[in-house]
């Protein structure tokens, strides 16, 4: 007779956004506070600060926060959060002033009903695709919030995510997880890792809190990946031949006028060897330049960043930027034996489209939903987890590369190298060939929880000026008429929403002062 090894003690190492989001999801889902099922211990070093960047999120964050059980009002108050309705890409197409497009969160109007691209190409191709099919770019341009003061917590008029202060977010989640959800917090430095004879991790050693034994270890130690990469030796697969950026310079810039509008979208402005993010929080902007160190010196990147800050805020930066280096890529597997990596320990590509926290949320969710009851079941679950997340990382890479490969910019080797055929993933190359004759669709991205839906590919593809062959789009002749109906709908919704929604700053200030109604 074999003895069953139940999985009960979960040890998370690392207390950045990844560690605390994972702890929150596990503890809430499994009622850790009641003490009946699993226990969750989080070990966090007081000597190693979390990375402290990562201010852009996806709409999934609303579900995650709700799932953990925090209130949206409380979140706004404590994390200096603001609304995010998508991204605006400036100067990515040809680099000229006035070159921009939007990737909003709302699906195109009528997206699931007809081929809107056929209608756009036939009758409206001089209007930017996103502006025609969605009301949301217009809300962003006018600085509107995605809901009203009377809309309940987490509910939306227009789909939205958040911008947030990453440092405050970690502390907010930690307090909530410890106070409300029964997560045990150990503030100590991990000094070693010991294995069982079979190779599983048995315990992690700490400087002064003794060993922490566990059945399952979650590596949230950031880019060092101490457990999965360091101890288990799972190799890192570099993606630098596809996506070149590996360095970031980050700044916090105060508003000159504290009543200045808060952008309700991330502004991504292409530069000679990378791009600059600009994220509006209620009290400051988070601005950073991410670039390829093979194509630009740090000094040159810093000059471009300073010029951007001066152009958009009227004065040069008052502080020096913080420099961060990273290797774009991910681990060959994410779950090895009884160790699973979530967050930067699993991989990181670059901040474009802010997919890192979304992958953390998806990982925490799958881990929680599929929490293996026994060590034997863990073998099956881990195989599935690895399959899911290898697929997801590959799709993130395809989608990010799409932004670069379609650019017509010719002002530097960075942009020319990005178009080199050998830098293009095979699957993306094939899809681009197909999309000359048909738009991206669910047949290209057919998994239930795709990281980026086909609508996102459409927004970027046509925003970047991709020119399809019109013959491929006119085979079903009623598509264009049908699409016109939806374009009218989008335009009516635009008018209604512009009239009825408060400004982003107005609503955020209202929430901080008065709160949002509960659902
Ligand atoms: C320039 C840049 C911009 C980014 N922008 C975005 C964005 O807009 N949106 C987005 O979704 N993501 C973004 N990211 C990614 C995002 O910052 C991370 O995914 C997120 O913060 C999660 O980090 P983490 O928790 O995995 O790691 P970290 O924040 O690095 O946390 C690591 C934790 O491990 C602990 N630790 C390390 N060693 C030990 C030890 N020996 N003992 C005990 N504990 C230890 C540390 O104390 C810390 O608590 C960005 C990343 C970069 C580099």
329 within ligand 1 shell (Cβ under 6 A): no
C-alpha span between 20 and 362 (Å, rounded): 14
Residue 17 CA, ligand 1 centroid: distance in Å = 6
Q: Which atom of ligand 1 sits closest to the CA of residue 50? A: 29
Among protein residues, the one with the nearest Cα to ligand 1's atom 17 is 54
Per-residue pLDDT, 36? 83
Smallest Cα–Cα separation from 119: which of 478, 514, 497, 518? 478
C-alpha span between 101 and 516 (Å, rounded): 32
Per-residue pLDDT, 271? 98
Element (H, E) at 41: strand 39-44
44 within ligand 1 shell (Cβ under 6 A): yes
Residue 496 CA, ligand 1 centroid: distance in Å = 41
Per-residue pLDDT, 499? 97
CA–chain centroid gap for 311, Å, is 27
274 within ligand 1 shell (Cβ under 6 A): no
Per-residue pLDDT, 1? 46
For residue 478, which phi and psi values (nearest 5 degrees)? -80, -5
357 within ligand 1 shell (Cβ under 6 A): yes
167 within ligand 1 shell (Cβ under 6 A): no
Residue 373 CA, ligand 1 centroid: distance in Å = 29
Q: Which atom of ligand 1 sits closest to the CA of residue 55? A: 8
Residue 345 CA, ligand 1 centroid: distance in Å = 8
C-alpha span between 497 and 493 (Å, rounded): 6
Q: What is the pLDDT of residues 413-422, one digit of tens each?
A: 999 999 999 9
Residue spans of beta strands (DSSP E) within 200-273: 201-206, 212-213, 216-219, 236-238, 247-254, 266-271
Report the Cα–Cα distance between both ends of the chain, in Å, rounded: 51
**Distance (Å) of CA 354 to CA 243, 279, 339, 442:** 15, 11, 25, 22
324 within ligand 1 shell (Cβ under 6 A): yes
328 within ligand 1 shell (Cβ under 6 A): no
Residue 82 CA, ligand 1 centroid: distance in Å = 21
The preferred substitution site among 14, 57, 220, 247 for testing ligand 1, maximizing ligand atoms within 8 Å of CB, is 14
C-alpha span between 515 and 518 (Å, rounded): 9
Residue 441 CA, ligand 1 centroid: distance in Å = 33
pTM here is: 0.97
Per-residue pLDDT, 3? 57
141 within ligand 1 shell (Cβ under 6 A): no
Residue 286 CA, ligand 1 centroid: distance in Å = 16
Cβ 341 vs Cβ 228: under 8 Å: yes
Per-residue pLDDT, 481? 77
**Distance (Å) of CA 466 to CA 119, 410, 469, 473:** 16, 16, 10, 14
C-alpha span between 274 and 326 (Å, rounded): 14
Low-confidence ranges of the chain (pLDDT < 70): 1-3, 472, 474-479
Residue 165 CA, ligand 1 centroid: distance in Å = 13
Residue 18 CA, ligand 1 centroid: distance in Å = 7
Smallest Cα–Cα separation from 322: which of 280, 345, 290, 285? 290
Q: Which atom of ligand 1 sits closest to the CA of residue 190? A: 42
Residue 444 CA, ligand 1 centroid: distance in Å = 32
Smallest Cα–Cα separation from 117: which of 476, 430, 408, 492? 476
Q: Which atom of ligand 1 sits closest to the CA of residue 343? A: 26
Residue 52 CA, ligand 1 centroid: distance in Å = 7
Residue 326 CA, ligand 1 centroid: distance in Å = 11
Judged by DSSP in three states, 241 sits in coil
53 within ligand 1 shell (Cβ under 6 A): yes
82 within ligand 1 shell (Cβ under 6 A): no
Three-state SS string over 456-516 comes to HHHHHHHHCCCCCCHHHHCCCCCHHHHHHHHHHHHHHHHHHHHHHCCEHHHHHHHHHHHCC
DSSP state of 6: B
Per-residue pLDDT, 519? 82
Q: Which atom of ligand 1 sits closest to the CA of residue 15? A: 49
> C-alpha angle 417/275/300, rounded to 5°?
85
Judged by DSSP in three states, 227 sits in helix
Concatenate the DSSP letters of all residues of 343-408 into one string: STTTEE--SGGG-HHHHHHHHHHHHHHT--SBHHHHHHHHHHHHHHHHHHHHHHHHHHHHHHHT--
Question: H helices within 255-355, ranges in order?
Answer: 298-313
């Amino acid at each position: 007779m074999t003895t069953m090894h139940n999985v009960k003690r979960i040890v998370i190492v690392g207390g950045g956004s990844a560690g605390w989001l994972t702890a929150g999801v596990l503890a809430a889902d499994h009622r850790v506070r009641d003490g009946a099922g699993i226990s969750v211990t989080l070990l966090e070093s007081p000597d190693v600060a979390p990375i402290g960047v990562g201010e852009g999120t996806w709409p999934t964050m609303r579900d995650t926060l709700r799932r953990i059980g925090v209130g949206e009002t409380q979140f706004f108050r404590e994390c200096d959060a603001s609304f995010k309705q998508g991204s605006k890409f400036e100067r990515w197409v040809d680099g000229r002033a006035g070159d921009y497009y939007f990737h909003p969160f709302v699906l195109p109007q009528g997206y699931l009903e007809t081929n809107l691209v056929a209608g756009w190409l036939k009758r409206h191709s001089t209007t930017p695709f996103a502006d025609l099919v969605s009301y949301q770019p217009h809300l962003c341009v006018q600085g509107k919030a995605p809901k009203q003061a009377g809309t309940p917590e987490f509910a939306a008029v227009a789909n939205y995510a958040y911008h947030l202060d990453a440092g405050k977010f970690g502390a907010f989640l930690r307090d909530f997880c410890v106070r409300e959800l029964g997560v045990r917090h150990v503030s100590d430095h991990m000094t070693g890792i010991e294995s069982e004879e079979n190779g599983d991790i048995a315990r992690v050693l700490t400087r002064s809190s003794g060993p922490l034994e566990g059945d399952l270890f979650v590596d949230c130690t950031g880019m060092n990946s101490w457990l999965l990469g360091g101890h288990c030796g799972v190799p890192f697969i570099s993606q630098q031949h596809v996506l070149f950026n590996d360095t970031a310079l980050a700044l916090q810039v105060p508003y000159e006028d504290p009543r200045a509008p808060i952008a309700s979208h991330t502004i991504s402005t292409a530069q000679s060897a990378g791009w600059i993010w600009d994220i509006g929080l209620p009290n400051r902007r988070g601005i950073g330049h991410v670039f390829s160190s093979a194509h630009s010196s740090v000094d040159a990147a810093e000059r471009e960043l300073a010029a951007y800050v001066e152009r958009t805020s009227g004065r040069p930066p008052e502080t020096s930027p913080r420099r961060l280096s990273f290797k774009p890529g991910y681990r060959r597997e994410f779950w090895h034996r009884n160790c699973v990596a979530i967050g930067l320990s699993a991989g990181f590509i670059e901040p474009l489209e802010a997919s890192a926290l979304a992958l953390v949320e998806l990982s925490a969710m799958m881990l929680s939903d599929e929490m293996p009851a026994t060590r034997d079941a863990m073998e099956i679950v881990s195989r599935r987890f690895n399959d899911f997340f290898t697929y997801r990382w590959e799709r993130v890479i395809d989608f990010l590369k799409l932004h670069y490969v379609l650019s017509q910019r010719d002002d530097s080797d960075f942009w020319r190298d990005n178009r080199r055929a050998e830098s293009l993933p095979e699957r993306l190359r094939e899809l681009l060939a197909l999309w000359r004759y048909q738009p991206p669709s669910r047949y290209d991205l057919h998994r239930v929880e795709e990281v980026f839906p086909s609508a996102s590919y459409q927004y970027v593809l046509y925003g970047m000026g991709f020119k399809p062959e019109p013959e491929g789009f006119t085979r079903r002749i009623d598509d264009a008429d049908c699409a016109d109906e939806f374009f009218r709908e989008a335009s009516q919704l635009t008018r209604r929403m512009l009239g009825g929604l408060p400004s982003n700053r107005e609503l955020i200030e209202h929430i901080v002062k008065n709160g949002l109604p509960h659902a």
